[in-house]
Amino acid sequence: MLRFLVSLIIGLVVGLGIGLYLGWVRFPVEFVNSPASSLSQRYKDDFIVMVASGYLKDGDLGGAVERLRLLGVANIPAFVQEVTERYISNSQNADDISVLVALSESLGRLTPIMQPYRRITETGG
Amino acid sequence: MGDYETETGVPRRSKYRRPRREISWVGLLIGVALGIGAGLFYAWAVDTRVEYDTEPWQLKPSDRAQYIAAVALGFSYDSDLSRAIQRLVELRPQVDPIQEVADVACDLATTGYASTSSGLRAIRSMMQFYRLQGRSGCADSLIPFEDQATPQVVIDLPTPTPLPPASKTPTPESAVRPSPTPPRVIAPTVQPQSDYIIAAINTFCATGSSGVIEVFVQDFNGQGVPGQAVRVRWDEGSDTFFTGLKPERGPGYADFQMEAGKGYSVEMPGRSDPTSQPLVAAPCVTEGGDSAISSYRVFFRPA
């Protein structure tokens, strides 16, 4: 009987490990109905590029900020700045960088590294 | 001779005389089965793994709608249909992805989302997107496509000053006849050599793009200009290449691979002056501590 109990306990421990591995790693729960704040960084970045493009199209800064609230970020200007600088450092698409710089500048976050990507606006005269 | 001995006196092998195993296989198997069940229950129900790397298809419906609106806004700016479709496909739509945009626009048009100007613009962007692809939705009948709220800029032109009435006194004819003006000879001027300037040169160090001159030719708005010739010169020779051949890096992008230790100058032939200082392909160390060759980003903009 003791032999059986010892084997049972060893089996339980081994089985528990296998079960946790399967449940957490191999076949983890796939969430649906997730908030946008839990999006992976890649998709958050893409979302910001889309919103920044929309801002350049319609010039609605308030609307852009309101859309970015969806990501659940506390400090939106700082977040846009961080994403923009990361895009520049990683040599991402120049057009994407350009729209991000425009949004970041409108949010008062123009840093020296962004200067070359600024859009030059012709002034009348 | 006992029951369990052979004629030679060697004890016969019996299940009662076999040495006992240390492990009960039955117990072990039952334990493993119970353990796996308990482990899965714990991992799936009690302490599910913290969610990370969520993809757009996992978004809840309200956030998914906002994401689709953002896709349409992006398209309204860059008109890049393939990129917009790719973004929509990542939402794993159950129906035609463009029709889903129409359906979502319809839903948004019936909610408070349409009561704000930014919401209206987003819905109109969606309408523009799916209409261009030949789809339709109920938003077409709910929201006028033209942005009637856009204020019209009225420019007051200066009122023309009326000419003074003609005097009745005839102006005496001058006795001095004006000498004929010699014809003006306009010498053809040479086309300006520098309609582009080098707006900026940045240095960076990365193993992924080691020893590369990245050239960006942009217009006044910072948009890339494709098809522009760029020439790189070094001691032994030169090379001319064109922007826009790597569209994934933007239409105004071109690059050149340097050789370590050499110096290069960059120009737009006939349209800009060359770089005043040579761009030297010098060894550098990346932030990660890897060795690489210094790279440069050169920005050309209209003068």
The residue count for chain A? 125
Q: Which amino acid is at B259?
A: E
pLDDT in tens, B47-72: 877 666 789 999 999 999 999 999 99
Shortest distance between the Cα of B23 and any Cα of chain A, in A, equals 6
pLDDT score for B146: 61
Residue range A55-73: mean pLDDT, rounded: 92
pLDDT band of residue A96 (cuts 50, 70, 90) is: very high
Report residue A28 as tokens. Answer: 């983890």
Q: Is residue A34 scored above 80 in pLDDT?
A: yes
Q: Is residue B231 scored above 80 in pLDDT?
A: yes
Question: What is the rounded average pLDDT for all residues in chain A?
Answer: 89
Q: Is residue B166 scored above 80 in pLDDT?
A: no
Provide the β-strand partners of residue B196. Answer: B302
Residue B245 contacts residue B237 (beta carbons within 8 Å)? no
CA distances from B152 to A53, B116, B148, B155, B201 (A): 23, 19, 9, 9, 41
Among B51, B60, B74, beta carbon nearest to A50? B74
Q: Can you state the angle between helices A94-106 and A76-89, rounded to 10 degrees?
A: 150
| CATH number listed for the domain at residues B196-302 | 2.60.40.10
Residue B293 contacts residue B258 (beta carbons within 8 Å)? yes
A29 touches chain B (CB under 8 A): yes
pLDDT score for B1: 47
Residue B102 contacts residue B137 (beta carbons within 8 Å)? yes
Residue B132 contacts residue B165 (beta carbons within 8 Å)? no
pLDDT score for B13: 59
The Cα–Cα gap between B19 and B247 comes to 75
pLDDT band of residue A41 (cuts 50, 70, 90) is: very high
Work out the widest C-alpha separation in chain A, in whole angstroms. Answer: 98
pLDDT score for A111: 92
B207 touches chain A (CB under 8 A): no
pLDDT band of residue B104 (cuts 50, 70, 90) is: very high
SS3 B65: helix
What is the reported pTM? Answer: 0.54
pLDDT score for B18: 64
pLDDT score for B285: 79
Identify the DSSP state of B35.
H
pLDDT score for B148: 43
Residue B165 contacts residue B183 (beta carbons within 8 Å)? no
The residues spanned by each domain of chain A are 1-30, 36-117
Residue range B132-155: mean pLDDT, rounded: 68
Disruptive mutation site among A9, A27, A29, A46 for chain B (greatest number of B CBs within 10 Å): A46
pLDDT in tens, B15-36: 566 666 778 888 899 999 999 9
Q: How many CA atoms lie within 13 A of A34 on its CB side?
A: 22
pLDDT score for B149: 43
Q: Is residue A95 scored above 80 in pLDDT?
A: yes
Which of A21-25, A29-33, B185-189 is least confident?
Answer: B185-189
Residues 110-129 of B with CB under 8 A from A: 116-119, 121-122, 125
B89 touches chain A (CB under 8 A): no
Q: In this complex, do B118 and A24 lie within 8 Å of one another by their Cβ atoms?
A: no
Those residues whose C-beta lies under 8 Å from the C-beta of residue A23, and which sit 6 or more positions away, are: A29, B39, B40, B42, B43, B44
Contacts with A95 from chain B: Cβ below 8 Å: 78, 223-224, 250-251
pLDDT score for B150: 43
Residues 53-92 of A with CB under 8 A from B: 53-54, 56-58, 60, 62-64, 66-67, 70, 89, 91
pLDDT band of residue A45 (cuts 50, 70, 90) is: very high
- Give exposure, B80-103, as e/b (b: 16+ Cβ within 10 Å): eeebbeebbebbebeeebbebbbb
Q: How far is CA B238 from the centre of its chain?
A: 32
The residues spanned by each domain of chain B are 56-142, 196-302
Q: What is this model's ipTM?
A: 0.81
Residue range B198-202: mean pLDDT, rounded: 83
Disruptive mutation site among A8, A44, A96 for chain B (greatest number of B CBs within 10 Å): A8
A111 touches chain B (CB under 8 A): no
Q: How far is CA B290 from the centre of its chain?
A: 27
A51 touches chain B (CB under 8 A): yes
Q: Which residue has the tokens 């700016």?
A: B77
pLDDT in tens, B257-292: 998 888 888 988 888 888 877 788 888 878 788 888
| DSSP letters for A42-110 | HHHHHHHHHHHHHHHHH--HHHHHHHHGGGT-S-HHHHHHHHHHHHHHTT--HHHHHHHHHHHHHTT--
**Is the torsion defined by CA of B91, B95, B99, B102 positive or negative?**
negative
